[in-house]
Amino acid sequence: MYNSKPWDEKWTKNTAKSHLQEFIHRKRSFGFVYVDKSSIVGALFGVERTFWSGDEVYVDEFYVHPQYQQKGVGKEIMMHLEQYCQKKELEAITLVTDKNVPAYHFYQKMNFNISEANVFLYKNIPQ
């Protein structure tokens, strides 16, 4: 999924497997998959975490196969996440996305707020 446009990342089966294994061994991590005809066509992986204002969910990964986008799959997964949060009394859902990908507009349609006060920072470490 992330090896294609607009991300153009360079995931291999081994790096993807390691990434998921690390994730599932984290405390309070969870995931949902959307299956159609025995194929996973969407998934969300998140982690519950404590914040000063109450417990929340941070969405680490969320994807829908391109052939299933704009067909309600993403909305159904997100609605399932909201129900999960309500049952567990989690007060917020947080995530980071790029402004130039379709997901950005999806999150806006799902009533996510854009934080003007926060920025995403990163620094590459020379090897």
Residue 93 placed within a domain: yes
Residue 3 domain-assigned? no
pTM: 0.81
- pLDDT band, residue 9 (cuts 50/70/90): low
Q: Considering only CA atoms, which of 92, 76, 83, 66 is closest in space to residue 5?
A: 66
How many domains is the chain built from?
1
Q: What CATH number should be reported for the domain holding residue 33?
A: 3.40.630.30
User: 105: domain range?
Assistant: 28-109
Q: Is residue 33 part of a domain?
A: yes
Which pLDDT belongs to residue 3? 44
Cβ-proximal residues to 57 (8 Å cutoff; 6+ apart), any chain? 46, 47, 48, 49, 81, 84, 85, 90, 92, 93, 94
Residue 86 in any domain: the answer is: yes
* CB distance 41 to 34 below 8 Å: yes
- Of 54-58, 80-84, 117-121, minimum mean pLDDT range: 117-121
The more confident residue out of 109 and 118 is: 109
Q: What is the mean pLDDT of residues 40-45?
A: 95
Contacts of residue 75, defined as CB under 8 A and 6 or more positions apart, other chains included, come to 110
Residue 1's pLDDT band, with cuts at 50, 70 and 90, is low
Phi/psi region, residue 89 (left: phi>0; alpha: psi -120 to 50; beta: rest), is left
